[in-house]
Amino acid sequence: MAARPNRARTSRTRGEATVERLRRICLGFPEAGERLSHGEPTWFAGKGKAFAMLDDHHHGAAHLAVWLPQPFGAQEALIAADPVRFFRPPYVGPSGWVGVVLDTAPDWKQVARLVRDAYAHVAGPRLREQLLGTGSPGGGR
C-alpha cells in the first residue's frame, strides 16, 4: 500500500509559499517594513500606518488572506465584483479595508495592484512620491 501524502504538510508548505510571495510584494515598496501585529505579519509604510495585514485563518477563518486599506468605495466595488475572492474583514472592515483570499489561486497581478493601492493610500507624501516615481507594482528600491 502506497503512503498517502501528508495533506497538512502540503497545505502548510503551500501557505508558506503564499505568505513569502505576499511578503516579497509588500517589502518591495519604499521603506516598507514588517512586524507582528495581533500575532500576524503586518506591513507598514515607513514608520507610519499599516498597509497590509496577513489573515492566516485568524479566529478560525476558513482562509489565508490579506487585509488591505482601500480608498472610499473600493471595498464595496471589489466585494460586489467577486464575493468569493473579496470580503469585509472583521475589526477593520468598517474603516474600508478589504480582505483578499489568497489560498485559492489568486490573480497575483491583481493582488500586487491592490497592495500597491493600499500602500499609496496610507503612505505619507514623501513615500507616495517615491512610489509614484518608481512606476512598478511592488516598487523598486
Length of the chain: 141
pTM (two decimals)? 0.83
C-alpha cell at 78: 471589489
Residue 26 in domain: no
Residue 65 in domain: yes
Q: Is 101 helix (H, G, I), strand (E, B) or coil?
A: strand
Reply yes or no on whether the pLDDT at 102 is more than 80: yes
Residue 52 · residue 98 · CB < 8 Å? no
* Angle, helices 108-122/125-134, rounded to nearest 10 degrees: 150
For residue range 72-89, list pLDDT tens digits in order: 999 999 999 999 999 999
Residue 108 in domain: yes
For residue range 1-44, list pLDDT tens digits in order: 444 443 334 345 668 999 999 999 999 999 999 999 988 899 99
Q: What is the pLDDT of residue 136?
A: 47
Q: What is the pLDDT of residue 97?
A: 96
Residue 140 in domain: no
Instruction: Give the total number of structural domains in the chain.
Output: 1
Residue 92 in domain: yes
Query: Hey, what amino acid is at 113?
Result: R
Question: How many angstroms separate the CA atoms of 87 and 67, rounded?
Answer: 9
Reply yes or no on whether the pLDDT at 94 is more than 90: no
Name residues whose C-beta falls within 8 Å of residue 119's C-beta, 6 or more positions apart in sequence: 26, 29, 32, 45, 51, 52, 127, 131, 139
Higher-confidence residue of 71 and 139: namely: 71
Domain that includes residue 55, residue range: 32-134
Q: Is 55 helix (H, G, I), strand (E, B) or coil?
A: strand
Higher-confidence residue of 138 and 104: namely: 104
